[in-house]
Amino acid sequence: MSETFDSPYREYARLRAGCPVAHSDAWGGFWALFKHADVSRAASDWQTFITSQQNVVPKVAFTGRRPPLHLDPPEHTPYRRALAPLLSEKRIARLEPVIRAISRRLLGAIVARGAGDICADFSCHMPVAVFGHWMNLADPAVEELAAIGRRYNIAVQSDDVEATKRESVRLYEIARDIVVSRGVDPLPVESDAASALLAARVDGEPLPQDMIIGTIRQVLVVGLIAPSVVIGAIAVHLGRDRALQDRLRAEPGLIPAAVDEFLRLYTPYRGFARTAQCDVTFQDRTIPAGEPIALVYASANRDEDVFPEPDTFQLDRSNMSDSLAFGRGPHMCVGAALGRLELIVATEELLAAAPGFGLDGEPTQTRFPEIGALRAPIRFEVAR
């Protein structure tokens, strides 16, 4: 039976209760952790649980190592240090007008038609355009990146290994072109990621160029896919809950808190992986050293031991800081501020685009390693 939008969460609840540490023979075999405490432990203990051997399940890295995610501390630190100032809340706040303008343009086209797929028509384009602005790319490069990013996502979701490899190579070509261009004509390091990475030094030496290219390639994919599936999931949730739509329209100041709760409910990853360097025990089960372990964040964030009534939307959760939506430890998402701002603006503009909207068909669920909406058809109400 194929997955529906809701079915994984029911399965995770069953596994948390009866098999919180599971093993699968799929994709060459892997373990999976479903409880919040276990996922948090593995994500935080980077000395025991490394990411440099395999960073996602299934393993889709075919074309080289990509910092910071493919490296462990301290090797990954110079790459994060170069990116972090460009992704700080203060710096990212400057993108708010850009995100809003792009969102209004894309959503306006859907409203004019009366209906559309929020993922295909909006959420897979908006983050690309925003990312292109953040990366200081010209418009033609942004358009090319959007097309390749969409094809890459579909290939991964379809388990099409050859297409995944082909589009990954194309993403590398874009990253390489950016790095070569900045090497010839650098931009200020406080405003350009590639220039900042090229200027970074470790013990007086520059970072290897292939690793800089890998970093840009990594940021490209994570920055494109995760926001898309979360925005799709938010649209599905709101399309099913008109009362919540109306409340958030009437009280837009609640939207940032609503986004945090949406991120808990629809955490976009179920297959981020670690590999234990020694035998480890979770819930009385021993995982041998060297075997991949999926950290199922999407299950951990619905753990009833941490979040009462975990499948319900609640604006007033007192322990939202326990959410693992952006991970834990040294690999916690460096782009969290950008991702959260994109979701807030997208939700604001989606609600402002029309007096109401509802689902216009069944949403389609993504596959590993992401979780969320791959397709989210909605129909807008006509303003009276």
- 1 part of a folded domain: no
- 357 part of a folded domain: yes
Number of domains in the chain: 1
- 16 part of a folded domain: yes
- 2 part of a folded domain: no
- 300 part of a folded domain: yes
| 373 contacts: CB under 8 Å, gap ≥ 6 | 5, 118, 119, 229, 232, 233, 235, 236, 363, 364, 365, 366
Coil, helix or strand at residue 229? helix
Question: Which of these, 247, 248, 222, 220, lies nearest to 346 by C-alpha position?
Answer: 248
CB of 157 within 8 A of CB of 366? yes
Give the domain CATH number at 346: 1.10.630.10
Could you report the per-residue pLDDT of 25-72, keeping only the tens digit for each? 998 999 999 999 999 999 999 999 999 898 888 876 655 667 777 889
- 170 part of a folded domain: yes
Q: How much is the pLDDT for 29?
A: 95
Could you report the per-residue pLDDT of 280-307, keeping only the tens digit for each? 999 999 999 999 999 999 999 999 999 9
- 167 part of a folded domain: yes
Residue ranges making up the domain that contains 154: 7-380
- 51 part of a folded domain: yes
CB of 38 within 8 A of CB of 20? yes
For the cut 90, the answer to whether the pLDDT of residue 156 exceeds it is no
